């Protein structure tokens, strides 16, 4: 039998194009409406720190709900099963609780306008510059990769030209972010969040109805029981499709990678930092954790439903690559194409487009804040007028979008270079959490320690990748010699290099800090746990107390883990 590589081909009706057009009108209207509120650089880059809690909470998770997440998680759901939910129920949720309870008081309380600026206040200018430069480069490249992925997807699904998709999406994101700044990006992220939920949730409902619910999925996938359990097959890496054991999962994903991303990445932390007061800033990730823990049912379940429908036989079939293997990445688009009639097909495609644009706008707005505050104002022009920084912020937005477009075209020419860049980003991100953990909770940590630790951690991640191999990736330092270790899956290798990077950064930071002179305590008040007054929750209603919300979040997460164990 010939492989079916057209299971995801779509034919849009005028109704679908109409729905996409309606969405674009609303997105641009938000930018136009918010334009009159943007009068200072603080409004443009920090939303004037006046965004309501429900909006910051939804934006917090939406900034991360880019297309790579929506399509990638469905692909992982189809490939690894419900175990993929560990990214949420073991990874994201505990990290968001930690951020809200323990780290946000320092970010918000220090009045830093960005994560690199906190590093400047806590450590020194060189640590800030290292973080700001790596973050700025990563965000602009991430935005370009997102744009590239969108163009390739729409070329495959709809036959749209690469250039048309890139310019249309970049043009719309440019228009609404230049007009309304961060507030516009945040408002659109919330709009996009609901669009993604309402665009994809009916697909899950229709699919579940077709296969006979969760029980039907378990029956259809009875030959591979690990697909429908989160914990039962975690005893050994050989038992589950991810090839990961308990330690790698809890330490690598649950601690290093997730805490590293959710607690230190300015792209998401920025959404909480624009809250109107400290309590709202702390509650932002905590409130966001409730919808976040349910996101697997929208992004992972479609992958499982697709596998179950394919296993049951009938009209639905999984898309295949030209070599005959299942194309997991196309699981979600394939379901849209095969289960949605015109109308919802337009909404589903708009949801995909929204997720790409949401990811891109999030990266660009974080990029312009970091560039303007941490690079331009800190190193190029210190004492200019606010109008000047507002202009720089707007110009940086334009530059960020243009660089993203250039990156998308660059990726089209050298696709493997983008894989390499994404790998390098993971080297940079992995050790960052160790720096923050020590910086916030051990007052003896010094700037020299933090800087050296960050560099060493990055190097450790690169070396680990260079001497190990997984699915043909890595081993670039071996020069023909046998790899130090061969992992069953790339994900397992990623978790291991994250652990190596974190541990190295942690140890080196401590060693160098002990050998260098610490800052006086007086200079670190409000920046370090032991030198900061505890925040009082008296006077707040019970449901507004961060620790109460945290307990509820963790209890609900434990229940979800038990249900799907």
Helix (H) or strand (E) holding 468: strand 468-470
* Residue 15 binding another protein, by CB under 8 A: yes
Q: Which residue number, 192 or 230, has a Cβ lying nearer to another protein? A: 192
Contacting residue, 111, 161, 164, 209, with another protein by CB under 8 A:
209
Which of 223, 315 has the CB closer to another protein? 315
Range in contact with another protein (rule: CB under 8 A) among 14-22, 75-83, 263-271, 370-378: 14-22
φ, ψ (nearest 5 deg) of residue 442: -135, 105
Q: Least distance from C-beta 180 to another protein, angstroms?
A: 11
User: Tokens standing for 454?
Assistant: 């960050």
Residue with tokens 């002179």: 517
What contacts 312, CB < 8 A, 6 or more positions away? 211, 216, 220
Q: Which residue, among 353, 456, 364, 455, has the nearest Cα to 405 in the 3D structure?
A: 364
Smallest distance, Å, CB 34 to another protein? 8
Distance separating alpha carbons of residues 490 and 492, to the nearest angstrom: 5
State how far the Cα of 98 lies from the Cα of 113, in Å rounded to an integer: 20
Cβ closest to another protein, residue 234 vs residue 347: 347
Residues numbered 165-194 forming contacts with another protein, rule: CB under 8 A: 187, 190-191, 194
Q: Least distance (Å) from another protein to the CB of residue 454?
A: 38
Kindly state the smallest distance separating residue 55's Cβ from another protein, in Å: 6
- Minimum Å gap between C-beta 54 and another protein is 9
User: How far, rounded to the nearest angstrom, does the alpha carbon of residue 331 sit from its chain's CA centroid?
Assistant: 20
> Can residue 55 be called a binding residue for another protein (CB under 8 A)?
yes
Name the H helices within 370-446.
Answer: 386-413, 415-429, 432-441
Residue 489 touching another protein (CB under 8 A) = no
Pairing of strands 468-470, 485-487: parallel
Name the one range near another protein by CB under 8 A: 145-153, 173-181, 311-319, 495-503: 311-319
Size of the site for another protein (CB under 8 A): 36
Q: Out of 6, 17, 18, 225, which residue is the one contacting another protein (CB under 8 A)? A: 18
Among candidate residues 265, 289, 295, 290, the one with its CA nearest the CA of residue 103:
265
- Write out the two tokens for 443: 């007052």
Window 320-379: residues binding another protein (CB under 8 A): 338-344, 347
- At 541 the three-state DSSP class reads coil
Nearer to another protein, 184 or 496 (CB): 184
* Closest approach of another protein to the CB of residue 342, in Å: 4
Residue choice 35, 126, 210, 412 for contact with another protein (CB under 8 A): 210
**Contact (CB, 8 A) for 200 and 70:** yes
- Are the CB atoms for 202 and 343 separated by under 8 Å? no
Token pair for residue 282? 């702390």
Which residues have C-beta within 8 Å of that of residue 472, sequence separation ≥ 6? Answer: none
Exposed e or buried b for every residue in 153-163, given b needs 16+ CB within 10 A?
Answer: bbebbeebebe
Asked if residue 291 binds another protein (CB under 8 A), the reply is: no
Residue 420 binds another protein (CB under 8 A):
no
160, 162, 198, 529: which one binds another protein (CB under 8 A):
198
Exposure of 388 in the CB half-sphere (CA atoms within 13 A): 9
Does residue 85 interact with another protein by CB under 8 A? Answer: no
Stretch that binds another protein, among 21-29, 109-117, 249-257, 495-503 (CB under 8 A): 21-29
The least CB distance from residue 3 to another protein, in Å, is 21
* Sites of contact with another protein (CB under 8 A): 13, 15, 18-19, 22-23, 26, 29-30, 33, 37, 55, 187, 190-191, 194, 198-199, 201-203, 205-206, 209-210, 314-316, 338-344, 347
């Amino acid at each position: 039998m010939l492989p079916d590589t057209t299971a995801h081909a779509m034919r849009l009706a005028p109704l679908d194009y109409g729905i996409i057009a309606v969405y674009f009108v609303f997105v641009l209207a938000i930018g136009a409406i918010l334009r009159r509120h943007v009068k200072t650089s603080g409004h443009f880059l920090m939303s004037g720190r006046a965004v309501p809690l429900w909006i910051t909470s939804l934006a917090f998770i939406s900034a991360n709900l880019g297309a790579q997440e929506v399509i990638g998680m469905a692909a992982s759901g189809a490939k690894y099963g419900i175990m993929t939910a560990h990214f949420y129920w073991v990874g994201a949720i505990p990290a968001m609780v930690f951020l809200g309870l323990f780290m946000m008081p320092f970010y918000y309380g220090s009045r830093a306008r960005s994560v690199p600026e906190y590093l400047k206040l806590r450590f020194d200018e060189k640590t800030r510059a290292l973080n700001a430069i790596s973050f700025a480069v990563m965000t602009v490249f991430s935005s370009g990769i997102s744009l590239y992925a969108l163009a390739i997807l729409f070329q495959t699904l709809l036959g749209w030209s690469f250039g048309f998709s890139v310019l249309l999406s970049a043009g719309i994101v440019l228009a609404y972010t230049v007009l309304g700044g961060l507030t516009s990006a945040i408002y659109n992220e919330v709009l996009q969040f609901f669009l993604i939920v309402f665009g994809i949730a009916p697909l899950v409902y229709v699919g579940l109805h077709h296969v006979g619910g969760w029980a039907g999925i378990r029956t259809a996938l009875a030959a591979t029981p690990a697909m429908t359990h989160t914990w039962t097959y975690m005893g050994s890496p050989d038992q589950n499709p991810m090839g990961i054991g308990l330690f790698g999962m809890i330490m690598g994903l649950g601690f290093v990678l997730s805490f590293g991303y959710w607690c230190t990445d300015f792209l998401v932390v920025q959404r909480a930092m624009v809250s109107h007061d400290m309590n709202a800033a702390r509650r932002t990730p905590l409130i966001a954790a409730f919808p976040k823990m349910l996101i697997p049912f929208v992004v992972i379940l479609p992958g499982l439903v697709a596998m179950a429908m394919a296993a049951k036989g009938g009209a639905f079939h999984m898309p295949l690559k030209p070599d005959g293997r299942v194309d997991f990445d196309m699981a979600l688009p394939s379901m849209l194409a095969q289960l949605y009639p015109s109308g919802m097909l337009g909404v589903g495609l708009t949801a995909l487009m929204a997720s790409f644009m949401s990811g891109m706008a999030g990266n660009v707005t974080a990029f312009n804040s970091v560039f303007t505050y941490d690079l331009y104002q800190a190193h190029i022009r210190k004492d200019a007028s606010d109008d000047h920084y507002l202009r720089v912020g707007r110009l940086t937005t334009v530059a960020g979008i243009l660089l993203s477009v250039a990156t998308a075209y660059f990726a089209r020419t050298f696709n493997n270079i983008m894989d390499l860049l994404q790998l390098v980003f993971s080297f940079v991100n992995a050790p960052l959490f160790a720096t923050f953990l020590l910086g916030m909770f051990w007052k003896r940590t010094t700037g020299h320690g933090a800087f050296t630790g960050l560099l060493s951690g990055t190097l450790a991640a690169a070396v680990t990748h260079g001497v190990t191999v997984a699915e043909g990736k890595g081993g670039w330092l071996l020069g023909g010699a046998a790899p130090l270790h061969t992992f069953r899956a790339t994900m397992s290798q990623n978790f291991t290099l994250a652990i190596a990077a974190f541990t190295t950064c942690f140890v080196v930071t401590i060693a160098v800090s002990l050998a260098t002179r610490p800052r006086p305590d007086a200079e670190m008040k409000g920046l370090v746990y032991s030198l900061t007054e505890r925040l009082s929750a008296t006077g707040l209603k019970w449901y507004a107390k961060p620790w109460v919300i945290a307990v509820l979040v963790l209890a609900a997460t434990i229940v979800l883990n038990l249900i799907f164990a």
